[in-house]
A and B are shown apart, each in its own frame.
Chain A
Amino acid sequence: MPREKINIPCEIDHLSILSEDGEADEELVPDLAEDELLRMHRSMLLTRRFDERMLSLQRQGQIGTFAPVSGQEASQIGAISALDQEDWLVPAFRETAAMLWRGTPMAGILIFNGGYNEGGRIPDDQNDFPIAVPVASQLPHAAGIGYAMKYLDDDRVVMTFFGDGATSEGDFHESLNFAGVFGVPVVFVCQNNQWAISTPRERQSKSKTLAQKAVAYGIPGIQVDGNDVFAVRVAANEAVERAREGDGPTLIECVTYRLSVHTTADDPSKYRSEEEVEEWEARDPITRFQSYLIDRDLLTEDDIESLESEIKDEIDDAWDEAKATMSDLGDPDDMFDHVYAELPPYVQQQRENREASDGEDD
């Protein structure tokens, strides 16, 4: 009975196409139409400005705690843009860019962050799951939707997002394992933004990459420069195609960085240095993509200026709409809505008693 070597794939690709100063490896640049490129750029810029606005609204006490996405726009837009509108998105809690790409109204996001459940209503024309706050808990749902697609002979695919911290949870491993065993059409997009609140990436796992965790589950895994929208898009295209062809799930690790706070309740100066943040600011996914587009004459400084003012107006309008909606949402009895399809009689009674006592209470 000899001791033998078992051959398992033990190399993981790392893909990077667009350098920090906007130089591209033309061989590898995905073949995308001009309007698609511009739409991707616009989405990334819109996300950044929207994020900045929400941060200032939060600081003024106008909305509550939320998780900023700045720095991760390429990871999300590069990946989500590979989906068709009919496909499924299963987000975590930091997927503002992906959600905006899918068509989620900014006003809805503002209402959600303004403390009203109504903001979480998923538009009827989006096959998207709501925000999932418990880390990694959405991944089994993605696996299940994938199973259903396969069962129903439906060629739609599922894309789900999560962080580096999420890879430590059982739900991550159980989902990858399930997805591998049943060969379901799911693209697992890990945004390794180096931090899980104050916990650094090295403390989540001893493995050199997060992508290699795919190997253990017998599915393809790839690591990409997550601040390079082309690299992410290429990896996502491959994974989506694989899923759509019936060849099962893929794990993509996007190496990126959370430039802002974890959430607005967090103080990053307790655990990371300014120098580290500056290093990553130099790798900003938006400026990098912008220089590429400018170099190719697809975009001019003037275009960017008018885009900025267009975006500002759009965000202003969304905030006006959100404020107007929220001021009409005063009725606290709405909190009884949607807990059940039909309220049990004694809960209905609680609602009515509350309503009746409201006058005396306030």
Chain B
Amino acid sequence: MAELTMVEALNLALRQEMDEDESVLVLGEDVGVDGGVFRVTEGLLDEFGEERVIDTPLAESVIVGSSVGMVAAGLRPVCELQFSGFSYLAMHQLESHASRLRWRSRGRYGVPLVARMPYGAGVRALEHHSESKETYYAHTPGLKMVIPSGPRNARALLVSAIRDPDPVIFFESKLAYRAFREDVPDDSETIPIGESRRIREGDDLTLIAYGGMLRRTLEAADQLAEEDGIEADVIDLLTISPLDDSLFTESARRTGRVVIVHEAHRSFGPAGEIMARLIEKSFYYLEAPIQRVTGYDIHVPFFAREQAYLPSADRIVAGAREAMYAR
């Protein structure tokens, strides 16, 4: 057991999986000598050598496209895209091939690749370094979209992603990369992809969040307990797609009031799908309109205003009060 940041925990997952399975390799821009711009792949080159830790030319399409080829021949590539804002250059390979090869080849070729990428705002970065476009990938059949919220679940989910038979898009919150440490067990552990988790119990209200917004949501839950005596059930989605609606359905039926938090844009964002599921499955249990606390329908502004764009604990509290008291 060691206290690790999310960066260190992800590094541990890669190291252990590479150690265990020679078919696992890492490729991307600056992942070798530099250890990745966020240092997630630090030390892997020394340990596993150039053939398994590949500093590629600057070309996202071939990073993902070559990975599609590698998996057909039995390798398990873990691609790093330097920022999710540059993953669109690989979108074509992800949508047109990674998501479809199993289907197109009638099961002959699965595509067990992982595309890791940092996402999200809050670290005073440049344009294209702050967005949260999980919807693009969650909307694509055949892809899985995973977003851990802390060191321990990041490690466990990355191990699952590497072992998963299908392509997994793995978003890593820059806000959570180094913000806090957690105990991470030395021995490998997994969390099933497609399973959400309850991380705080309450009967008054259901708060649903994931990734970089989880901690703010927990802060808001504490504030609601303290100031309003409201006890919130907090659910960490962990996987966006395939969406696990069992836990939040159970919770919503119990509390009747739901707030969904994400930093992705509001319109057509994951909250829209979650609301649709709630309406389909829990309509008669709802006591108030479902609230969404999200990024606005604008590009993430440059860093001086990014906190105004992001949902704050205060905005989440305000959304919760709306769900609790609105008539």
Contacts and interface: CB of A to CB of B under 8 A. Distances in A.
A198 B297 contact: no
Name, among B32, B303, B305, the residue most crowded by chain A CB atoms within 10 Å (CB to CB).
B305
Contact of A115 (B60, B85, B299, B304): B304
A197 B308 contact: no
Contacts of A205: 57
Interface stretch (B4-12, B122-130, B159-167, B239-247): B122-130
Contact of B58 (A117, A135, A335): A135
Nearest to A204: B57
A116 B305 CA distance: 7
B298 A339 contact: yes
A189 to B, nearest CB: 17
A361 B315 contact: yes
Name, among A65, A66, A326, the residue most crowded by chain B CB atoms within 10 Å (CB to CB).
A65
Contacts of B97: none
A170 B61 contact: yes
Interface in B279-327: 296-299, 301-306, 308-309, 312, 314-315, 318
A38 interface: no
Contacts of B86: 134-135
B124 A346 contact: no
B305 A335 contact: yes
A112 interface: yes
Contact of B299 (A114, A197, A271, A339): A339
A218 interface: no
Contacts of A329: 304
A329 B315 CA distance: 22
Q: How large is the interface on A (under 10, 10 to 19, 20 to 34, 35 or more residues)?
A: 35 or more
B30 A198 contact: yes
B57 A335 contact: no
Contacts of B276: none
B58 A204 contact: yes
A360 interface: yes
B34 interface: yes
A204 B57 CA distance: 5
B318 A271 contact: no
Interface stretch (A161-169, A226-234, A304-312): A161-169
The list of the 10 closest CB pairs from A to B, nearest first, reads A115-B304, A332-B308, A198-B34, A168-B57, A335-B301, A115-B303, A165-B58, A168-B58, A168-B59, A339-B298
Given A93-B126, A271-B33, 19 more contacts: A64-B124, A64-B125, A65-B126, A114-B304, A116-B302, A133-B126, A134-B85, A135-B86, A166-B58, A169-B89, A197-B30, A197-B34, A197-B37, A199-B55, A204-B57, A266-B37, A335-B309, A347-B297, A351-B296
